[in-house]
Structure 1
Amino acid sequence: MAEKRCYTVAELQEILGVSRPTVYSLLKRNEFRWIQLDGGKYRISKKSFDDWLDKQPSEE
């Protein structure tokens, strides 16, 4: 099976432990690359998101 190249909004909610509106806020700020499909669904670039996440300051 091919490795996933995109995340869904629900997957980002789970990964980050945040609400749906928070994910949409990140999308609006163009923190990472994403596309909007027909029907209004979003797909977020896995590589772009993973790179962004790796650059976030850790809470210690």
Structure 2
Amino acid sequence: MSRQLGEFEQLLLFAVLNLGDDAYGVELRKGIERATGRRVSPGAVYTAMDRLELEADWLR
């Protein structure tokens, strides 16, 4: 059963692609904040990363 990615998960993936090797929590949060103009909590970044990782494992 697959699902569509949420807006925040999409923003996170775009930030990862944009940052490349510099894609780690703090920089991801800053990139999303710059792109959206909204404050992002560190917990939101790490929770979304965990969800994406679990889904990627499930798809394998």
The structure with the largest strand share of the pair is: 1
The structure with the largest helix share of the pair is: 2
TM above 0.5: no
With normalisation by structure 2, the TM-score equals: 0.32
**Looking at both structures, which has the greater relative contact order when contacts are Cα pairs under 8 Å and sequence separation is at least 6?**
1
